């Protein structure tokens, strides 16, 4: 398994519009696109080839809302680009790494993704991101 680069850094926010204002007005960045995915509003803000992924839950029961209730707003996960998410998961499983996803699931922007449990990666939820075959 080869991690090619940091693909994005996921940041849990309780007010996406307010967070976008900070990153665009104060830091001078631009929102490249926004998506709604599995009950979350997500804004992607590129910085030097890496995206900041601002994430707001639509509901109190969402994973992001729960994360904020427990730990406050802030860095939620770090995502690494890999060539093949399934192969990477097999390698991690073989090493006994605790996973959130045993198989890849659909991510934002036509990607496939899988999460590695924060218990295995020292308190940081890690995400593997790959382009689907032919995608
Ligand atoms: Zn992510």
Domain covering 3-131: architecture: Roll (3.10)
* pLDDT at res. 42: 95
**Cα(116) to centroid of ligand 1, in Å?**
12
CA–centroid distance, residue 28 to ligand 1 (Å): 22
From the CA of 125, how far away is ligand 1's center (Å)? 10
**Residue 47 CA, ligand 1 centroid: distance in Å:** 15
Question: pTM for this structure?
Answer: 0.91
Domain ranges of the chain: 3-131
- Tell me the C-alpha to C-alpha distance, in Å, between residue 10 and each of 31, 78, 134: 14, 6, 26
Query: In angstroms, what is the span from residue 9 Cα to ligand 1's centroid?
Result: 7
Report the chain (135 residues): mean pLDDT per 10 consecutive residues: 93 98 98 92 96 95 94 97 96 96 88 94 94 59
């Amino acid at each position: 398994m080869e991690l090619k680069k940091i693909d994005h850094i996921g940041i849990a926010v309780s007010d996406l519009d307010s967070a976008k204002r900070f990153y665009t007005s104060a830091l001078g960045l631009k929102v490249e696109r926004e998506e709604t995915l599995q009950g979350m509003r997500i804004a992607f803000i590129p910085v030097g080839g890496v995206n900041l992924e601002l994430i707001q839950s639509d509901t109190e029961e969402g994973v992001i809302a729960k994360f904020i209730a427990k730990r406050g707003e802030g860095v939620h996960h770090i995502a690494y680009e890999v060539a093949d998410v399934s192969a990477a998961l097999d390698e991690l499983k073989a090493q006994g790494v605790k996973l959130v996803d045993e198989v890849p699931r659909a991510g934002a922007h036509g990607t496939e993704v899988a999460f590695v449990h924060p218990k295995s990666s020292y308190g940081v939820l890690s995400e593997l991101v790959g382009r689907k075959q032919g995608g």
